[in-house]
Amino acid sequence: MRAARGEDALTARIASAVKRPGILLPAVRGGLHVRVGIGDDAAVINLPAQRYVLTTDTLVEEIDFLPRETPYWIGRRAAAANLSDVAAMGAAPLGYLLSLGISRKKDARFARRIVEGVISKMAPFRAELWGGDLSRAPSIFVTMFVIGKAERPILRSGARPGDRLFVTGSPGAAAAALESRRPRVGRAPSPREKPYLDPEPRVEFARALSRRRWATAMIDVSDGLAKDAHRLAAASGVRLALHAVSPGALTAASDDFELLFASPASRKDSILALGRQLGTPVAEIGRVERGRGVVLTGGSRRVRVMDQGYDHFA
């Protein structure tokens, strides 16, 4: 009898981790029925008729995380990035597939620790790992594909003149946290590194906005506040006038995974109360006007904000 080895052995270990009580839920819940999970050519899932969101996000070594980063935290960060896209639609994650590229310097344990990081970050949302793919690659990458449920998706395109603009958390904080992490990469994380290493996607807060129909447009801040504000403005055909934003927070090209959203002015107090209730920091940072682009306002001055931030293909 020969022990299983290599890729199949790793897949088997991941499959058994997924089945371990406390890590993930039983395969059958809430109308979803996983017929075949990890280990066949594809997963087989019974899905009820409804509206779904589908999203994918990839983290690449040296681009989205530091070289020599701890695999568990690479996994958590990858999961946060994908959860943030689901949150930005006001949706709830249901299940996901995971594709890993692992460089030759790293062993199977390294891959398994990434998977454990991903699972640990997805589990509180009851999102299940349905399958994936493992590859050797010149450098490390983590790609996730998430399916979520969205009764009332919040698009980028619904902001209207007169709406107020809000942001969760502190956009720009991830850039500062990354600088804290840089000299300490690979070590146990310190609290100040959290916005970079283990950001908190705003799933619950966004779901509450969606259920209450309080947001007219929403986007997650993944390439810097300036760039994503421009994206929301362009999709909605409006101008965003920002105040109470420091130029530093605006121009930091960082993956914050915070939410930028627009709401009718009448909802302002309710939104701030909702943030307090759910423990989600939220602040009003501007308003929606007729026009195009993004401006920074202060007293009587208005400064045009360039469409800048992180761009993979600039």
CB closer to a copy of itself out of 122 and 189: 122
| Nearest-approach distance from CB 300 to a copy of itself, in angstroms | 26
β-partners of residue 130 are none
Which H or E run contains 144?
Answer: strand 141-149
Looking only at residues 69 through 108 of this chain, which bind a copy of itself when binding is defined by CB under 8 A?
Answer: 85-86, 88-89, 91, 95, 97-99, 101-102, 108
Size of the site for a copy of itself (CB under 8 A): 77
CB closer to a copy of itself out of 64 and 198: 64
Q: Which stretch binds a copy of itself (CB under 8 A): 119-127, 197-205, 248-256, 305-313?
A: 305-313
CB closer to a copy of itself out of 32 and 282: 32
| Nearest-approach distance from CB 273 to a copy of itself, in angstroms | 25
What single letter denotes the amino acid at residue 33? Answer: H
Report whether 84 contacts 201 (CB < 8 A). yes
CA atoms within 13 A on the CB side of 257: 25
| Nearest-approach distance from CB 102 to a copy of itself, in angstroms | 8
Residues 215 and 163: their CA atoms lie apart, in Å, by 9
Q: Using alpha carbons only, give the angle 188, 193, 195 rounded to the nearest 5 degrees.
A: 130
The residue with tokens 């090209």 is 253
| Nearest-approach distance from CB 188 to a copy of itself, in angstroms | 27
Looking only at residues 154 through 213 of this chain, which bind a copy of itself when binding is defined by CB under 8 A?
Answer: 155-157
| Nearest-approach distance from CB 66 to a copy of itself, in angstroms | 14
Tell me the three-class secondary structure of 162-185, residue by residue: CCEEEEECCCCHHHHHHHHHHHHC
117, 131, 171, 195: residue in contact with a copy of itself (rule CB under 8 A): 131
**Phi–psi pair at 18, nearest 5 degrees:** -65, -35
Contact call for residue 16 and a copy of itself (CB under 8 A):
no
How long a stretch of residues is the chain?
Answer: 314
Question: How far is C-alpha 125 from the chain's CA centre?
Answer: 13
Looking only at residues 132 through 151 of this chain, which bind a copy of itself when binding is defined by CB under 8 A?
Answer: 132-139, 141, 143, 145, 147-148, 150
Q: Which stretch binds a copy of itself (CB under 8 A): 40-48, 195-203, 269-277, 297-305?
A: 40-48
Looking only at residues 46 through 65 of this chain, which bind a copy of itself when binding is defined by CB under 8 A?
Answer: 46-58, 60-64
Residues 6+ apart with CB under 8 A from 30: none
Report whether 142 contacts 61 (CB < 8 A). no
Q: Are strands 301-305 and 293-298 parallel, antiparallel or unpaired?
A: antiparallel
65, 73, 125, 130: residue in contact with a copy of itself (rule CB under 8 A): 130
CB closer to a copy of itself out of 148 and 169: 148
Looking only at residues 227 through 246 of this chain, which bind a copy of itself when binding is defined by CB under 8 A?
Answer: 231, 235
